[in-house]
Every structure is written in C-alpha cells, then in structure tokens.
Amino acid sequence: MAKPTATLTVLRTEWLTPHMVRVFLGDPGFDSFVPNAFTDAYAKLEFGGPEEPVLRTYTIRSVDPVKREIAIDFVVHGDAGVAGPWAASAAAGDVLRLRGPGGAFAPDPAADWYLLAGDETAIPAISASVEKLDPSAVGRVIIEVAGPEDEIAFDSPAGVDVTWIHRGDTSDRIGEKASGDNAPLVAAVRDTAWLPGTAQVFIHGEAQAVMHNLRSYVRKERGVPASAASISGYWRRGRTEEGFRVWKSELAASEGASR
C-alpha cells in the first residue's frame, strides 16, 4: 500500500556543520504526516515536478507536535546531487512533499548494551536512537566524518561512549584508501571492545563498508542474530539513489540464491 503524502513548507534552516544543514518543515500538511515509533524513521522526499518527481530517502530527525515542525538533516557536498543543493538553498515558504514515514529500528530495552555506528548519513538516526535510550543504558557509538568540524553534539547517557572518527575529507572526495573496504569506520568497529551480555546493533552508512564488511563481522563473527542487528547501506559510492536501489536488489537476490 502506498505511503501517504504530506505537502509541507520550509519554516527555516540551520547549518549544523559546514557539510550538514537542518531543514524545518511545517504546515499546511503537518497533520498529514503521522510519525511512527522508529528512531530510524524515514520519508521519501519528492523533488522536481509532481508528474515525475525524483525521490530521495531521508531520515526524519525529529517531529515536534507542539511547534508543528518536522526536522530533516541533509549532507551537502556543493552542487552534487539533488537533495543537498536543494537543502542548502532552501528558504522559508519553499514547498516539499514527503511520502511516509517508514522505519524499522528502535532501541530494545531488553538489550544489555548497544552498538551504533555509521558515517555522517547515519547521524540523524544514531542521535535520535541514543536520545531514546534509558539513562542507565550502556553502549558504544562510533561515527565517521570528514573532520572535527563535522562533529555534532547530541545527548547521550553517561554509560554510552561516543567516538568520532576523522577520515580527512568529505565522502564525495575521499579516495579508495579511506573508503569502502578501507573506511576508517570498518577498523574502528572491529577494534571496539565487545561488552558482555546481549547486544543490539545499528550500523548504517556507505554500503561497501557496512554491508560487505561490518554486517558479516557482526552477524557471523560476533553471532548477533538478525533480529538484534539493523545493518544496511544508506548510499553507495559512485551511484545515484536509483542505481543504489538496483544494486541492493541484485545483492539481496544473490544472497537469497546462495542460502
């Protein structure tokens, strides 16, 4: 069944880092967007004309029913892409249509500890998840960004360690020596001390790093069941979202055939 569509207008924007801008959206369609309980909730954003819109998937950072605001964070790399340039130049009154929301992850209070990791595209979901943890929660958060200027503060329980990894450049410019199989995130997650008890894991980001490396590590080497592990790519180096969807479908078919 098709997700409902909400027509919203830009209220204001806020630059969080040199490469990430938060766009606040509101009426007239605020009531048409019904939030869910997932901390990785996402929506399909429509860009271009209504007849053949270009769709891009983005995490919903927050929904404020009192202020009637929906916040979405966009990674911006100059003029590259569709959504980033739009967000960088968005002004009050601009219209944006959202389809959704979807989602699949929320912290399980039954877990003994939490491991959340990803690159800058995962910051909205990771920070939203950490902010929902019980104050007594224990865990590890690992986030890969270009440099210290791209770190974003968010509230976390005292028992949750947050580590920022700097790869040295933005994700669109970094070379193969620090991306994909060689992404600093991969080594950082593998080197992280594994805590006792049952873990719940959330790792999202560039697909080569996450799906080809860390998913097998968590599922096979660490033995975390699929029910406690949300591990997937948000994007793939060198591919548009359309190309990325095709790649994920082909990968899923290949993995299904090999079982």
Model pLDDT, residue 141: 99
Model pLDDT, residue 208: 86
CB atoms under 10 Å from CB of 217, counted, come to 15
Handedness of CA 234, 238, 239, 241 (dihedral sign): positive
Does residue 247 register a pLDDT over 50? no
Model pLDDT, residue 219: 96
pTM of the model: 0.90
56, 82 Cβ separation under 8 angstroms? yes
Model pLDDT, residue 50: 74
Does residue 122 register a pLDDT over 80? yes
Rounded to whole angstroms, the Cα distance separating 164 from 162 reads: 7
Model pLDDT, residue 250: 47
Model pLDDT, residue 26: 98
From edge to edge, which strands make up the β-sheet containing 229-235?
160-166, 139-145, 113-119, 199-206, 229-235
Instruction: For residue range 58-87, list pLDDT tens digits in order.
Output: 999 999 999 999 999 999 988 878 999 999
CA-based nearest residue to 188, from 200, 203, 170: 203
For residue 249, what pLDDT band results from cuts at 50, 70 and 90? low
Q: What tokens does 132 get?
A: 């929902």
Model pLDDT, residue 259: 53
Instruction: For residue range 183-219, list pLDDT tens digits in order.
Output: 899 999 999 999 999 999 999 999 888 888 899 999 9
Rounded to an integer, the average pLDDT of 226-252 is 70
Per-residue 3-state assignment (H helix, E strand, C coil) for the chain: CCCCEEEEEEEEEEEEECCEEEEEEECCCHHHCCCCCCCCCEEEEEECCCCCCEEEEEEEEEEECCCCEEEEEEECCCCCCCHHHHHHHCCCCCEEEEEEEECCCCCCCCCCEEEEEEEHHHHHHHHHHHHCCCCCCCEEEEEEECCHHHCCCCCCCCCEEEEEEECCCCCCCCCHHHCHHHCHHHHHHHHCCCCCCCEEEEEEEEHHHHHHHHHHHHHHHCCCCHHHEEEEEEECCCCCHHHHHHHHHHHHHHHHHHC
CA-based nearest residue to 132, from 186, 72, 197, 202: 202
Q: pLDDT > 70: what percent of the chain?
A: 87
Model pLDDT, residue 52: 83
Mean pLDDT estimate for the chain: 90
Four-point Cα dihedral 1, 71, 184, 84, nearest 10: 80
172, 119 Cβ separation under 8 angstroms? no
Mind listing the domains of the chain with CATH numbers? 5-102 (2.40.30.10), 113-258 (3.40.50.80)
Rounded to whole angstroms, the Cα distance separating 40 from 106 reads: 7
For residue 238, what pLDDT band results from cuts at 50, 70 and 90? low
Which range in 28-37, 162-171, 228-237, 249-258 is most confidently predicted, on average pLDDT? 28-37
CA-based nearest residue to 245, from 259, 232, 229: 232
Does residue 157 register a pLDDT over 90? yes
